[in-house]
Amino acid sequence: MSTTALATPETKAGHHTDVQQLQGSWKSVAGRREAILMVAGNRFTFEFSDDGGGLYMGTFVLDPDAAPKRMDMVIDEGVGEHRGQLALCIYHLESDILRWCPTKPGTRVRLTSFPSVDDEKYISLVFKHVRRHRT
């Protein structure tokens, strides 16, 4: 099997692309919902830890040149009405911090700025990359 399907070339002077930086596990550190995001290649697993949460799995495509940056997430598996839907998200990635906010899956309008993490209308979350320490 070719590794080029999962590998993404590095950009300028050793800087990694957003897809490369997203790889691994992320834990929410701010926002009104607790969540864990896991990324492998262009696949995601998203788990809400709180009541009424759920597990969502699917694929994503990034547009890192947009302002704000865009992430389109196709929900292949998840809670009833969200399964098969497209979630239009915005994101900001800086080092080990990811700010992320979707609109309701199936909605055709994307946000143009980040709402407060306390906004009742949106799930606006801040994640920290979970790094495993090798011993």
Residue 135 lies in a domain: no
Rounded to two decimals, the pTM is 0.84
| pLDDT reported for residue 51 | 67
Query: Residue 116 and residue 27: Cα distance in Å, rounded?
Result: 18
Which tokens hold the place of 12?
A: 């300028």
Residue 101 lies in a domain: yes
Residue 60 lies in a domain: yes
The CATH number of whichever domain residue 81 belongs to comes to 2.40.128
Residue 9 lies in a domain: no
Domain residue limits at 74 = 15-130
Residue 61 lies in a domain: yes
**Considering the chain, what is the average pLDDT of its residues?**
87
Residue 6 lies in a domain: no
pLDDT at 16 over 70: yes
| pLDDT reported for residue 21 | 96
Over residues 40-69, mean pLDDT: 92
Q: Which amino acid is at 81?
A: E
As for how many domains the chain has, the answer is 1
Closest CA to 36 of 114, 129, 102, 111: 129
